[in-house]
Each structure stands twice: as C-alpha cells, then as structure tokens.
Amino acid sequence: MTMPAAAAATGAGAVHPLVAELASRHGFALLEAHAFDAWAGAPGRALVVFTEDPVRYKETLDLAVIAPQIVRAFPGVFRAGVLLPEAARGIAVRYGFRRWPALVVLDGGGYVGAIDGLRNWDEYLRDVAGLATAPATRPPTVGIAVRGPGEAAGHCAG
C-alpha cells in the first residue's frame, strides 16, 4: 500500500531528505501509485502532497516544510500522505490542478479541493479551513465539455 519510509531516502531514485521526512519524521503515508486509490478511499479527510522534482520545482521543498505545519494547525482533521514525483504526475491528471507542487484534499476518496503552488501562510489557513468542511465535489477537468442525451447538443468545428 505505502512505501516504507527508509526506501524513500535511499536507492537509485533518491528522494530529497525534506520530502523523505514527511514520512519518517511527520508520519505522512508515502504513497505508491498502485495503492493510492485504496489509501485515498478510506473514510475521513485526507491531505495529499503532490511533489515534483525539487531541482525543477524548488517550491516542492517549501511545501515539504509547510505541509506538516498545516496538518498540525488542524489536529485530528486529516490523514496525510505524500506522492513522489513519478506517482504524483500520473495521479495529478485526475484533479486538474495547474501548478506544482500541490495539496489535494479528499473525503473518503471523493475530491474536495486543491491548493496548487505556494501560498502565504494566512491563505493556507483560510483555504484549508474551507476544505476541512467542504463537501466532496467533481474535480475540475481540462478539455471539452461533454453533454449527455437530452442536453443541448454541441459540436467541435473541424
């Protein structure tokens, strides 16, 4: 289901120590793509950190420091997990966020919302407070709207 914390800090795909500490020091579940749905679908609110390569996206390291503070600011509200870059890239398309890194809040596997990129601390507190109680909704998507039977027909110009 999840990767042992020690595996995050060693091996060919070495993980930056600040990201590894999310699991080893702060108790975040280190999630693998194949087990994500089972973990995410557990009852209750989940806060998932979507990381990217910290060489390309330095903000990933900032969020690795900020995320545990967010969880502590809302005691007992969230289970917390972290997706490493390869798994995060594959799963991110489900949630429609546009900037890396990102936080995604789920409730029993249902999408509640996302905070992408970095924010000021007061914005995190405000936005996460809203996500802590918001209902699950349909995640945003990118693409062409699809209409079902009985809805106004649309077409693409070719």
Residue 144 lies in a domain: no
Can you give the CATH number for the domain in which 43 is found?
Answer: 3.40.30.10
pLDDT of residue 154: 46
Q: CA 108 → CA 3, 31, 49, 111, 137, distances in Å?
A: 21, 16, 16, 9, 12
Residue 157 lies in a domain: no
What is the number of structural domains in the chain? Answer: 1
pLDDT of residue 87: 97
The alpha helices in the chain, defined as continuous H runs, are 5-9, 17-24, 36-40, 59-73, 85-92, 121-133
Instruction: Give mean pLDDT in consecutive 10-residue pieces for the chain, a chain of 158 residues.
Output: 43 80 98 97 98 96 98 98 97 94 98 97 98 96 59 48
CB atoms within 10 A of CB 118: 17
Residue 154 lies in a domain: no
Domain of residue 100 covers 5-133
Q: Which of 83, 80, 88 is nearest to 105 (CA)?
A: 80
Which DSSP letter does residue 30 get? E
Distance CA 39, CA 157 (A): 42
- In the numeric block, which tokens belong to residue 153? 């027909």
pLDDT of residue 143: 56
